[in-house]
Amino acid sequence: MADTYQHYIGGEWTDGEGSETFTSTNPATGETLGEFHRGTPADVERAVEAADAAEEEWQTLSHIDRAEYLWDVYHELRDRTDELAEVVTKECGKEISEGRADVVEAYHMVEWAAGDARHPKGDVVPSEIPEKDAYMRRKPRGVVGCITPWNFPVAIPFWHMAVALVEGNTVVWKPAEQTPWCGQIIAEMMVDAGIPDGVFNLVQGFGDAGNAIVEDDAVDTVLFTGSSEVGQGIASKVGGEPGKLAACEMGGKNAVVVTEAADLDIAVHSAVMSSFKTTGQRCVSSERLIVHEDVYDEFKQRFVDVAESVAVGDPLSEDTFMGPLVDDDQVEKFGKYNDLARQEGANVLVDREDLDPEEIPDGHEDGHWVGPFVYEIDYSPDLRCIHEEVFGPHVALLEYSGDVERAVEIHNDTPYGLAGAIISEDYRQINYYRDNAELGLAYGNLPCIGAEVQLPFGGVKKSGNGYPSAREVIEAVTERTAWTLNNSKDIQMAQGLSADIKTGDDD
Ligand code: UN1
């Protein structure tokens, strides 16, 4: 393997056209993990050309034959789960059980997509005319551009790519610049599986490379998972280009609602997991806890006790609950939003923004360490700190009085709508929330994280359009044809439409 890791374009490892390189660093230690060539728009162009050229032959294979390549990847992911889990943890900082779950989620996705190749496909649809057979067929869209985030550096690439490939598309993938090593290993797995040249292409790099994927005319679908700003930009750019499609999944300002009918053991457990797993860096993480006044004081006390003591530390250690933030930018953003909350009148309950030096594990002084920041604040529609996504362990407690309707009103007052949970023993409250909360992933008596790959994953409002993920990604990577075949010699039309051809001679 080269000293500086390369791109994989058209079946070859290559340095690309650019002269710049970048490094991947361990967010827990600051140690350099590897050096990578930085892709340029010219590299993306070559990769898209290779993908475009490979499309026709790839589509001559059956779904089942294409899935065979993915089964090889599946087995390699399973065989190398522990090794890859450690790479995930070293590269993005989430603790080791989360690093492992990322890889497990990835092979679940590959299993789902490859297994789906043998499942019945399409719908037979009734026609008004008995002599007509109508049914649906799907065709691959062509070249799929995939832009993936660092927080699930193995699972999310497979959300995008597994179904896209089995359905007959070819792929150009740009992993997040924070996690290129995971990208490298996934590319090696594709190569090991013998995937035909040009069917899978990897370009390492930053936003300029991602943008080149979005702007390339030969890319038919763009799949994006990541920040709201970038996603909105992609959606509006692609939306203006006829024939091109974007499916984007962005962040959230998710909430857990705790009603007066909640079991508080479940409430505290769920809130801690929702807010602090992955150090608050899941797009489904919860930064708002909306709690009824009758249980507020007890919930607050118990939640604060855990937030004060929750274990921040070496993500490779089994005893850690929270690893570091991914990079300096995230630490800075977290600090800014904590200050903003203070300025907006927050009563700070837990402030572990600057951890005590003894809390930082030996040899990890250069990591991006923070702990929970928890505050209470009176709900107001004008507060920025409870409306804007931080992507860190920044948590607002919001007390409400009255019915579950009021909790849902506060819940819905964000521009986002990705994930959320309600904690209640009252099924009427749960059903009200189910029917009225604006979100794509909803949970009852559970944390608002941890969706499985066989469920659709995505949100409403600013959280996304389309589903670049899991089962539903099929809509973004295929086109449907509604096919109707006439079994009679006569042409007969639905809706009572006349099929008679009338001429001037008729009268
Ligand atoms: C993300 O939050 O960025 O549902 C992805 C979950 C995981 C995926 C999360 N399956 O929490």
Question: Which pLDDT tens digit goes with each residue over 24-74?
Answer: 999 999 999 999 999 999 999 999 999 999 999 999 999 999 999 999 999
Task: Verify that 291 and 334 share a domain, yes or no.
Answer: yes
Report pLDDT for 1: 42
State the residue range of the domain holding 155.
7-250+464-483
Task: Report the C-alpha gap between 264 and 506 in whole angstroms.
Answer: 81
| Residue 471, pLDDT above cutoff 90 | no
- Tell me the average pLDDT across 257-285: 98
Is residue 498, in this structure, part of any structural domain at all?
Answer: no
| Residue 502, pLDDT above cutoff 50 | yes
Whether the CB of 283 sits within 6 Å of ligand 1: yes
Task: Verify that 399 and 472 share a domain, yes or no.
Answer: no
Whether the CB of 449 sits within 6 Å of ligand 1: yes
Distance 432 CA to ligand 1 centre (A): 25
Is residue 437, in this structure, part of any structural domain at all?
Answer: yes
Task: Verify that 246 and 258 share a domain, yes or no.
Answer: no
Task: Verify that 245 and 266 share a domain, yes or no.
Answer: no
Distance 63 CA to ligand 1 centre (A): 28
Report pLDDT for 470: 78
User: Among 100, 104, 150, 152, which residue has the most ligand 1 atoms within 8 Å of its CB, making it the best to mutate?
Assistant: 152
The tokens describing 284, both together, are: 């489904």
Q: 245: helix, coil or strand?
A: strand
- The answer to whether residue 167 is catalytic is no
- Tell me the average pLDDT across 252-274: 98
- Please choose, from the candidates 47, 29, 27, the residue with its C-alpha nearest in 3D space to the C-alpha of residue 39: 47
With beta carbons less than 8 A apart as the criterion, state whether 460 and 254 touch: no
Task: Verify that 61 and 177 share a domain, yes or no.
Answer: yes
**Looking at residue 322, what DSSP letter applies?**
B
- The answer to whether residue 283 is catalytic is yes
Task: Verify that 246 and 259 share a domain, yes or no.
Answer: no
Whether the CB of 282 sits within 6 Å of ligand 1: yes
Task: Verify that 232 and 264 share a domain, yes or no.
Answer: no
Tens digit of pLDDT for each residue in 450-465? 999 999 899 999 998 8
Is residue 292, in this structure, part of any structural domain at all?
Answer: yes
Report pLDDT for 162: 98
Is residue 474, in this structure, part of any structural domain at all?
Answer: yes
**Looking at residue 38, what DSSP letter applies?**
P
Residue 15's domain is classified under what CATH number?
3.40.605.10
Whether the CB of 284 sits within 6 Å of ligand 1: yes
Question: Which residue among the candidates 92, 283, 385, 448 is catalytic per the annotation?
Answer: 283
Residue 359 binned pLDDT confidence (cut-offs 50, 70, 90) = very high
Task: Verify that 159 and 14 share a domain, yes or no.
Answer: yes
Whether the CB of 102 sits within 6 Å of ligand 1: no
Whether the CB of 105 sits within 6 Å of ligand 1: yes
Task: Verify that 24 and 79 share a domain, yes or no.
Answer: yes
In ligand 1, which atom is closest to the CA atom of 155?
A: 8
In ligand 1, which atom is closest to the CA atom of 225?
A: 3
Whether the CB of 451 sits within 6 Å of ligand 1: yes
Is residue 491, in this structure, part of any structural domain at all?
Answer: no
Task: Verify that 159 and 27 share a domain, yes or no.
Answer: yes
- Relative orientation angle of helices 96-116 and 63-79, to the nearest 10 degrees: 160
Buried b (16+ CB within 10 A) or exposed e, 15-43: ebebeeebebbbbbbeeebbebbbbbbeb
Q: Residue with structure tokens 């109508």?
A: 134
Distance 197 CA to ligand 1 centre (A): 31
| Residue 165, pLDDT above cutoff 80 | yes
Task: Verify that 131 and 46 share a domain, yes or no.
Answer: yes
More confident residue, 207 or 240: 207
Distance 284 CA to ligand 1 centre (A): 6
Is residue 458, in this structure, part of any structural domain at all?
Answer: no
Q: Closest residue (by CA) to atom 9 of ligand 1? A: 282
Question: Which residue among the candidates 91, 167, 249, 287 is catalytic per the annotation?
Answer: 249
Distance 390 CA to ligand 1 centre (A): 16
Distant-in-sequence, close-in-space partners of 423: CB < 8 Å, separation ≥ 6: 256, 257, 258, 259, 262, 263, 266, 267, 270, 271, 444, 445
Task: Verify that 98 and 173 share a domain, yes or no.
Answer: yes
Q: Closest residue (by CA) to atom 6 of ligand 1? A: 450
Residue 507 binned pLDDT confidence (cut-offs 50, 70, 90) = low
Distance 173 CA to ligand 1 centre (A): 20
Is residue 496, in this structure, part of any structural domain at all?
Answer: no
pTM recorded for the entire structure: 0.96
In ligand 1, which atom is closest to the CA atom of 149?
A: 3
Report pLDDT for 469: 86
Report pLDDT for 431: 98
- Give CA torsion, residues 232, 237, 241, 246, to 10 deg: -40
Amino acid at 88: V
Is residue 361, in this structure, part of any structural domain at all?
Answer: yes
Whether the CB of 450 sits within 6 Å of ligand 1: yes
Distance 448 CA to ligand 1 centre (A): 9
User: Among 449, 455, 472, which residue has the most ligand 1 atoms within 8 Å of its CB, making it the best to mutate?
Assistant: 449
User: How many other CB atoms are there within 10 angstroms of residue 359's CB atom?
Assistant: 13
Report pLDDT for 122: 84
| Residue 168, pLDDT above cutoff 60 | yes
| Residue 466, pLDDT above cutoff 90 | no
Q: Number of folded domains in the chain?
A: 2
In ligand 1, which atom is closest to the CA atom of 284?
A: 2
In ligand 1, which atom is closest to the CA atom of 452?
A: 10
